[in-house]
Amino acid sequence: MRRKKKSLTFIIVLVLMFLGIGYAYLTTTLSINGVTDVDSNTWDVHFENVQVTSGSVSGEQVTQAPTIDVNGTTVSYHIRLKEPGDYYEFTVDAVNDGTIDAMINSVTSKLNGTTITTLPTYLKYTITYKYSLPVQENQMIKAGESETYRIRVEYRNDINPSDLPSVSQSLSLSLEVNYIQSDNNGVEVEDSLYSIGYSNAKIGSPLPQDLVTFNSYKAALEANFVPLFNKIVLKNDRIVAAYAGIKVGNEVLLLKGAGATYDEDTWECGHDAIYYEQNKTAMMNFFGATYCNEYLDDSTTYTRCDKDGYSARISNCGFAETFCPGDVSCTAFCQVEANSKVMCGQICAN
């Protein structure tokens, strides 16, 4: 019994020795070598350029005009609203002078130090972008760009006498906007304006200063007295799209101009028809397919719809126009040429 036990022990030791020797000859070294260069970056989001809007209360009703602190991160003001209808409004630019895209992480409005859930009935307090778009989370300011905030405090005049304050009030209103480095959730600020005038603008360019605009198509219609308007879409204060619009009853038709190319020497259309089918579908849904016809004219394809005196026409050259009935002949149109020039407006004649 003892002899068998020793033999077994010897065999085990011998096997382990051979395994150890074999392992010593099977070796591999894997290496990963690299150099990483990290560019310098700066983070700088701050306020600039305060401008008080014409019509705001002034004189002794302004204890302190809007002032930016030395860090450029706080705007302070102190005003007095004496009677219903008084308001104070100013704009200020939020500027990204850094090299990193920024986006809004949170927006908090406070009244007397407490997050606002409701305002006193006699007070209206709004903070929007320049064209009345709400300031919301995830909206971006790209590096080297800016967004304009519009701040307005108003003593409302559309209230009942019982809603007026019985004693003078001192209200502390504040807005805190927290910016962080932008990520995949970041969205560009997009706003829509409406016009009834003629503009000579380009996609990618700022809005022309001489163009009269409105914050809603309803306001444009009230100023024009006909159901035609133009819609202009902006992102980061740059024009990105334009539409011809028509309102009949409670329905609104929008036809997107742009997308076609032209040879400016011959004025021939490139027939790329980027938005043609999209516009045609919108027209047929609005008027009804039985009221629409497609035809060819000088190698350009058109679709025209007519119903109850209202008409709209589009082409595969990016041209879109609407017509309205009545004693006044009106045409609204949007089109884009090779240089991305947008023409939006109306022509009215008795």
pLDDT tens readout for residues 8-47: 334 444 444 444 445 556 778 787 888 877 777 899 999 9
Q: Are residues 219 and 140 in the same domain?
A: no
Last residue of a domain, one of 181, 200, 231: 181
User: 245: which strand partners?
Assistant: 229, 254
Same domain, 161 and 215: no
- Cα 212 from Cα 280, distance rounded (Å): 29
Residue 151 host element (H or E): strand 146-155
Residue 31 lies in a domain: no
Q: Residue 4 above 60 pLDDT?
A: no
My answer on whether 302 and 336 are in the same domain is: yes
Domain boundary among 141, 156, 181: 181
Tens of pLDDT, residue by residue over 175-226, are 899 999 999 999 888 788 888 765 555 677 777 777 788 888 888 888 877 7
Domain containing residue 150: 45-181
109-158 tens-digit pLDDT? 888 888 888 888 998 998 888 877 788 999 999 999 888 899 999 999 88
| One domain for residues 102 and 230 | no
Q: What does the pLDDT read at residue 219?
A: 87
Residues 208 and 317 in one domain: yes
39 in a domain, yes or no?
no
Q: Are residues 143 and 223 in the same domain?
A: no
Q: Quick count: other Cβ atoms within 10 Å of Cβ 310?
A: 21
Both 203 and 333 in one domain: the answer is yes
In a domain, 40, yes or no: no
pLDDT class of 322 with cuts at 50, 70, 90: confident
Q: What is the pTM of this model?
A: 0.63
173 and 199, same structural domain?
Answer: no
pLDDT computed for residue 19 by the predictor: 47
Same domain for 67 and 159? yes
Q: Collapse the DSSP code of 289 into the 3-class scheme (helix H, G, I; strand E, B; otherwise coil) and give the result.
A: helix
Shared domain for 301 and 232, answered yes or no, is: yes
Q: Which of 181, 203, 227 is the last residue of a domain?
A: 181
Number of domains the chain contains: 2
pLDDT at 15: 45
Shared-domain flag, residues 52 and 164: yes
Kindly state whether residues 205 and 317 are assigned to the same domain.
yes
- Please tell me the distance from the alpha carbon of residue 339 to that of residue 200, in angstroms, as a whole number: 12
Going by the DSSP 8-state scheme, the letter that residue 133 receives in this structure is P
pLDDT band (50, 70, 90) for residue 307: confident
Has residue 20 been placed in a domain?
Answer: no
Per-residue model confidence (pLDDT) at position 271? 55
